[in-house]
Amino acid sequence: MAERGEARTLFRKVWDAHLVRPETADTPAVLYIDLHLVHEVTSPQAFSTLRERGLRVRRPERTLATMDHSIPTLPRDGAGRWPFVDAQAEAQVRQLEKNAVDFGFELHGLGDEAQGVVHVFGPEMGATQPGMTVVCGDSHTATHGAFGALAFGIGTSEVGHVLATQCLLQRRPRTLAVRVEGRLGAGVSAKDLVLAIIARLGVGGGTGQVIEYLGPAVRSLSMEGRMTVCNMSIEAGARAGLIAPDDTTFQWLSGRPRTPRGRDLEAALARWRALGSDEGASYDREVTVDASAVAPWITFGTNPGQGIPVDGRVPDPAREADPAARGTLEAALRYMGLRPGQALLGQKVDAVFIGSCTNGRLEDMREAARAMKGRKVKVRTLVVPGSHRVKKAAEAEGLDRVFREAGAEWREPGCSMCIAMNGDDLRPGQYCVSTSNRNFEGRQGAGGRTLLASPLTAAVAAVAGAVADPRRAAEGA
Amino acid sequence: MEPVRIIRSRTLVLPRENVDTDQIIPARFLKTTDRRGLGKALFSDWRYDAAGAPRPDFVLNRPEAAGCRILVAGDNFGCGSSREHAPWALVDHGFQAVISTRIADIFRGNSLKNGLLPVVLDAQSHARLLAAPGAEVTVDLEAQTVSLPGGGTAAFTVDAFSRHCLLNGVDELGFLLSQEKAIAAYEGAR
């Protein structure tokens, strides 16, 4: 525990408040988990462990489930059946339904109006709240850090640990402050900012660390933008990413199904306002980024750190002094079919994907619609809302019509082409500008080539059929 | 879980950096509800062509790869997704240790829970292993050392608790369950 009166970071305050047992040289800390989000892909084997050992879910009311990874994003067929990609995907979904009944926790499954991508769903439910510890068997759990929660991804064994004990064994990670000064320019979004930060830190640069994002450019982000930034903390290798809660957070949470009301809300607000890092709190490491220097960003390689400004040129491996780094870059360019020194502007693409836990929220849909309105897409374009709430809200604003009239597909909520488990995927060799979070080899389908970018950049690429500069669209709009 | 103490084996060297868990096991294999039998999907897209035939140039397909229980890979191994299917696939294939200069957090934690020993070495020792594919190497968890090709050893550290669990073949869940009183007291005091 921190000493009395010591200036503490946001992370440290949340960590200290959840210690069932502090760590010692011999044993990790026993950390209490407030909210456990569950989905169909990483949970079945954990429930098998519970059954094998005769254990129950210790706190069903702290366990909240939805489905997203392996589900179809097309509606039911005429006979009322969901068009699952195969029997295995359907069996996985049915297994989660059975587990929810057998173990007695809340599930918002297929067809439920609250269903969505788990990291869009949790905040929308008001389940994610400032100061909480939140885990999920999914590395993008860091998303929930946007609310000032300590949120991180865990493996299936740990899913079992939390189900059985509501606790995890953890060593305290180090802290990294990323201070973002200045303000983002026109046509530059939270996605561009976080991609630029990852390029700076490197794809493994945050390993063993929890990032706190600070500074005026972070403060001025909407909750959607903050979730986008925290979501991709893992792409720099970080355990988690946090942003101190403020009025933007409290307003966003207001009136959600699980957000406290009345007197409870007043008490919660008093606690939440005290969560921000204290004046003079120190971090293990600090990095400063100038937001005004961040351009619309796009990746050219096979990890999220391999990105450049959209009007930049693909780096030349010959200029890499370190042989390992040179080999990594060469392998990436070979896979991507790109040449050293070439511009990405004008690079033809075969598909565009707009959605995911990174960019599947209402604000993202609005950004994409802004660039597609009154225009036609030249390539296959999938627009996949992050949840039914997002879908409904977007439809209420007529965004679905904008997408359909532009020739894009307006789908049902799910992870879709971010992870390509459900049949939404690329053919080998195809290029896709994608608002998702990973450009790993084959991530969007074996042999597929992913260029990560913002919703605006993705939408202008859909209209141009090639990589294009979103700043022109932003000016023209 | 079987206790892990000493692993002696020839090394399989995969000299790539940032090997992400999507490469270790692509997402389409994650629709299973079982944790067994995933070894056949290990490194699937590097190992097999589109028709499912083994690619002869991939290290895992070479005859000398048979029986290798120690994987030596480039920096930042196991980055990306939290899928525990990655260590399940490695273990099912027969690997017992992974050596790199950096191992991603979630993958490291998942490996420790499945008897797969994550070993982080200094760059120099790691370079010696990378330069000697197929070298006969001993990883000693008790002493926390790796023998190096050409002589000498390199030291590594594994968290004391994880080491205890591996050496004794016990899992963490048992320890957590034994904390029931403390957990209940914590909940009562909130």
Distances in Å between the Cα of B180 and the Cα atoms of A14, A33, B161, B183 are: 22, 14, 19, 5
B32-46 mean pLDDT: 97
What is the pLDDT at residue B1? Answer: 81
B180-186 mean pLDDT: 98
Select the residue of A25, A156, A169 nearest B84 (Cβ to Cβ).
Answer: A156
Are B74 and A328 within 8 A, CB to CB? yes
Which of A 211-240 lie inside 8 A of B, CB atoms?
234, 237, 239
What is the pLDDT at residue A477? Answer: 46
Count interface pairs A-B at CB distance under 8 A. Answer: 177
B85-92 mean pLDDT: 98
State pLDDT tens for residues B14-31.
999 999 999 999 999 999
State pLDDT tens for residues A300-330.
999 999 999 999 999 999 999 999 899 999 9
What is the pLDDT at residue A475? Answer: 58
Indicate whether B169 pLDDT > 90: yes
At residue A289, φ and ψ (nearest 5 deg) are: -125, 140
Q: Is A429 on the interface with B (CB under 8 A)?
A: no
Rounded distance between C-alpha atoms, residue A157 and residue A173, angstroms:
20
Whether the Cβ atoms of residue A281 and residue A8 lie closer than 8 Å to each other: yes
State pLDDT tens for residues A55-91.
999 999 999 999 999 999 999 999 999 999 999 999 9
DSSP A238-274: -SEEE----HHHHHHHTT-TTS--HHHHHHHHHHHHT
Are A53 and B45 within 8 A, CB to CB? no
Rounded distance between C-alpha atoms, residue A13 and residue A278, angstroms:
10
Confidence of residue A472 (pLDDT cuts 50, 70, 90): confident
A134-146 mean pLDDT: 98
A201-224 mean pLDDT: 98
**Helix/strand/coil percentages in chain A, nearest 5:** 40, 15, 45
Closest CA to A117 of A151, A159, A42, A67: A67
β A150-153/B117-120 pair status: unpaired
A331-344 mean pLDDT: 98
Confidence of residue A139 (pLDDT cuts 50, 70, 90): very high
Q: At what angle do helices A362-372 and A223-231 cross, to 10 degrees?
A: 100
Are A165 and B177 within 8 A, CB to CB? yes
Indicate whether B114 pLDDT > 60: yes
Q: How much of chain B exceeds pLDDT 90, in percent? A: 98
Q: Is A157 on the interface with B (CB under 8 A)?
A: yes
Indicate whether A3 pLDDT > 60: no
Q: Tokens 């939408």 — which residue? A: A459
A289, containing H or E segment: strand A285-290
State pLDDT tens for residues A393-414.
999 999 999 999 999 999 999 9
Average pLDDT over chain B reads 97
CA distance B107 to chain A (A): 8
A215-220 mean pLDDT: 98
Q: How much of chain A exceeds pLDDT 70, in percent? A: 98
Rounded distance between C-alpha atoms, residue B126 and residue B151, angstroms:
14
Q: Is A70 on the interface with B (CB under 8 A)?
A: yes
Whether the Cβ atoms of residue A176 and residue A210 lie closer than 8 Å to each other: yes
- Of A3 and B57, more confident: B57
Q: At what angle do helices A455-464 and A362-372 cross, to 10 degrees?
A: 30
pTM over 0.90: yes
Residue B28: list chain A partners with CB under 8 A.
420-421
CA distance A251 to chain B (A): 26
CA distance A156 to chain B (A): 6
- Of A5 and A148, more confident: A148
**What's the residue count for chain A?**
477
β A431-434/A449-452 pair status: parallel
Q: Is A317 on the interface with B (CB under 8 A)?
A: no
Give the dihedral sign, CA A334/B50/B21/A107. positive
